[in-house]
Structure 1
């Protein structure tokens, strides 16, 4: 395929471009079918509002502007660059542009992994298929949020390390500090990048100095010296952010919070979920390839994938990093003859390809590639403007609920459940501020856990509402607190939607709203007009 890289037109109709556009198409598809959250992700809403606030003021907020519970408290905007980018894209093209940007970044992350595999397979479309086998859990995270950039940058970092390791092109290592300057201002996943860079340097040092007994003064020693120098430079580059080096361990602090265990994307993988089960299947395939290669994998090729997979099992949020690693190293193992009979059957074996030659005339191949690129790119762009998708997203969002709050001018302090906060920020700020939202790092363990236990389990729910002097509560119908509020009687149900309900404390503050809108639950739950402890 090298002949196709001679000019820009050749690149556009190359197998590599077909692979890239296919992966973008897949990312677009999983969002539109609801497999991935896409624009329905509640955290997207407050990220967008934060970007709008930064753009309007030209500065980062020094205190929390969105909640009344933590108003003015220090808020670390470690994702400010993404938020500004998100708002810029939204300002230029609205939500269709945001949707396409999400598919583009997600597709790019997968494409980088596929290209790493293809360094050894040398069959771009086969590498694309290999990526699709591993990518289920990664594409399930498709949403306009900054973690997608971490998956992309992680792949780029691995590519630069591989160029130094397998191609002895070590000059590219010095791009890693530059990459880190951008990464540290986009997403907290930069800490994973630093940890992986350290693990790679340490593993390579053990491999060369202890296992292979390479002389420190030889070429191998120079390679190791560059790795450690680049690690120090990259560590220094992580301090180029609004909070300096005090921000270095911030992501680790967040990951150690007890409250994140209540958030599905941070919890340990639940293997009753099919997408999580696919991660196990992918790992089993990866191990089979590792065992089946001709030469034994070295220390780095064993240690790094296994550690990354373990991190992915411990926290679902880390699983996509493991996907990038597994795709890349799977290509390495296939290139070394892993499962050779199966590889030959699917045309993945380089020697088979070289002996047989191209099966298509180059002009026909370019024509077909170009047609595929046009069709898939056209679908991806067109799907970003799908009226059906946006009508479904509109139906999912609590617009009717927030319109009710604004139109009836509900007074006093609002309580809401965790997952709804982002939607409320987008629709109600600045006139009204939320009780809680997806910024668990801002609110801290005790507050997040207390709210989770009160809303989801009904634990100390009355004390929770009384301590914060709540005037009205916005809750999910399925939450334990919803039934408790309805049965207690000192809160009146005034809004009964498909997903959410609004309960207003009885009294003069919102008495007119209660008089006009008090209703009964559509599920037939019996009510009680008296106060019940």
Structure 2
């Protein structure tokens, strides 16, 4: 016979889990138009490409600067899902896929925290801080779903100490993860850290099948079109100077940004709490330190933090009663669902993409040898225009194409700008830039270029003379 206390605990956990999912959907809805980013477009195009040609691209089929360059399209499975949902539901489909990723990441983060702390109430209390820390990273891109795989994998690994089926699920999840995002090696790596810390802390119940599940997951990460190359790819991307020194999400965080407030609050709280879960304190601290080098790793810190903080809070403070916990969960669920329903789905019209400018370029035949703003490269791919560069920075850098370096040289990133030299080298005929950029001002004063289109978002320039002519000093304009 099931004890009433056990049943009440299950009900409280279920209510708290529902509240976490509702808050996660509300956080996704709050992103609005920013959910759709420049990279979203090329991800959609890749998904359509795979569905149409029934093969996964291993060489660049989109740009005019690096055609045929080796490309590790490691997110192909997410891209297929996105393309299918786009065909069926448009931007609502993108919202569903992204919201599902955020909700699953938050849900498994909560379940992991509840298991490690024994307190659903304190695990629920950690969820808003975790979601606030995660908010800046929510977008219609594969990394969001990858975060859900990370938290689900760690939860299954912890659950495997009691459940054999959980251990069996570990390599299956790792194999799927390896075809959604190249972060799959994080699972086995973090798993070994977690189990080793648990064993050293003499945590009851660490069993051989957990280590076996982690080892099987390591092997399962090789079940993708590039095999175990996913490990080398992840290491190269995360350590290449051209990536971590020039791409925004790989840079160190800007401490003037308001999104850092919940992250810093979470880190300080974790430091101040004297007791807690040694394994997840170690993992969360490692993710936070990695995030100080490259801010994208702070998303990992955000989803690991509840499992590190909830045990410390539960050990330090007595939790609320069941009635208070249930009432709080129901209120948060209602608030989360209300915020979700009242928010419009994501849309890119009016979101800063050069829609009218690209339509003009297509209409006037100005689509050859285009030099474009980095963030808009994905949108050009979506519209069928070959970009100079786009968000597939790993492909441009690791293939040795030199495109990323030339883009940085033209824009004056970490060096004086030399747009004329880059335009001459590549034979650029058309330039597409934000209308308020320094490059737009420079070209408007350069007799070698003629402004042919301008609106509030973008400006288009066409070359008036042959490549190699002298212009102004770009450094004086920048």
Instruction: Confirm or deny a common fold (TM above 0.5).
Output: yes
Per-residue deviation, 1:173: 2.7
Q: Please list the CA deviations of residues 188-236 of structure 1 after superposition, one character each: whole Å capped at 9, or x if unmatched.
A: 111222321232344445x16xxx6x9xxxx97xx46434432321111
- The alignment status of 1:422 with 2:405, answered yes or no, reads no
Equivalent residue for 2:67, pick from 68, 71, 86: 71
Higher mean C-alpha deviation, range 244-253 or range 89-98? 244-253
Do the aligned partners of residues 137 and 450 (structure 1) sit closer, same or farther apart at CA in structure 2, a change above 3 Å counting? farther
Conserved 8 A contact 2:367-2:386: no
Per-residue deviation, 1:130: 1.7
Do the aligned partners of residues 439 and 331 (structure 1) sit closer, same or farther apart at CA in structure 2, a change above 3 Å counting? same
Conserved 8 A contact 2:40-2:141: yes
Structure 1, unaligned stretches of length 5 or more?
510-528
Do the aligned partners of residues 532 and 460 (structure 1) sit closer, same or farther apart at CA in structure 2, a change above 3 Å counting? closer
Structural RMSD (CA): 3.2
Alignment partner, residue 524 of structure 1: none
> What is the CA–CA distance in structure 2 between the aligned matches of 1:28 and 1:284, rounded to whole Å?
28
Equivalent residue for 2:224, pick from 241, 244, 259: 241
Which structure 2 residues correspond to residues 72-221 of structure 1 after superposition, within 5 A?
72-119=68-115, 124=120, 126-164=122-160, 168-169=162-163, 172-204=166-198, 207=200
Per-residue deviation, 1:124: 4.4
Do the aligned partners of residues 328 and 86 (structure 1) sit closer, same or farther apart at CA in structure 2, a change above 3 Å counting? same
Q: Please list the CA deviations of residues 223-260 of structure 1 after superposition, one character each: whole Å capped at 9, or x if unmatched.
A: 46434432321111011111222333111111122222
- The alignment status of 1:494 with 2:452, answered yes or no, reads yes
Equivalent residue for 2:250, pick from 266, 271, 275: 266
- The alignment status of 1:284 with 2:278, answered yes or no, reads no
TM (normalized to structure 1)? 0.78
TM (normalized to structure 2)? 0.87
> What is the CA–CA distance in structure 1 between the aligned matches of 2:339 and 2:282, rounded to whole Å?
40
Alignment partner, residue 515 of structure 1: none
Do the aligned partners of residues 372 and 235 (structure 1) sit closer, same or farther apart at CA in structure 2, a change above 3 Å counting? closer
Higher mean C-alpha deviation, range 232-241 or range 126-135? 126-135
Do the aligned partners of residues 84 and 359 (structure 1) sit closer, same or farther apart at CA in structure 2, a change above 3 Å counting? closer
Conserved 8 A contact 1:265-1:315: yes
Q: How many equivalent residue pairs?
A: 462
> What is the CA–CA distance in structure 2 between the aligned matches of 1:151 and 1:76, rounded to whole Å?
20
> What is the CA–CA distance in structure 2 between the aligned matches of 1:169 and 1:91, rounded to whole Å?
39
- The alignment status of 1:300 with 2:253, answered yes or no, reads no
> What is the CA–CA distance in structure 1 between the aligned matches of 2:456 and 2:232, rounded to whole Å?
42
**Secondary structure of the residue that 1:358 maps to in structure 2?**
helix
State the structure with bigger RCO (CA 8 A, min sep 6), 1 or 2. 2
Structure with larger Rg? 1
Alignment partner, residue 525 of structure 1: none
> What is the CA–CA distance in structure 1 between the aligned matches of 2:129 and 2:14, rounded to whole Å?
24
> What is the CA–CA distance in structure 2 between the aligned matches of 1:23 and 1:508, rounded to whole Å?
54
> What is the CA–CA distance in structure 2 between the aligned matches of 1:93 and 1:12, rounded to whole Å?
33
Per-residue deviation, 1:303: 2.7
> What is the CA–CA distance in structure 2 between the aligned matches of 1:405 and 1:89, rounded to whole Å?
29
Per-residue deviation, 1:73: 1.9
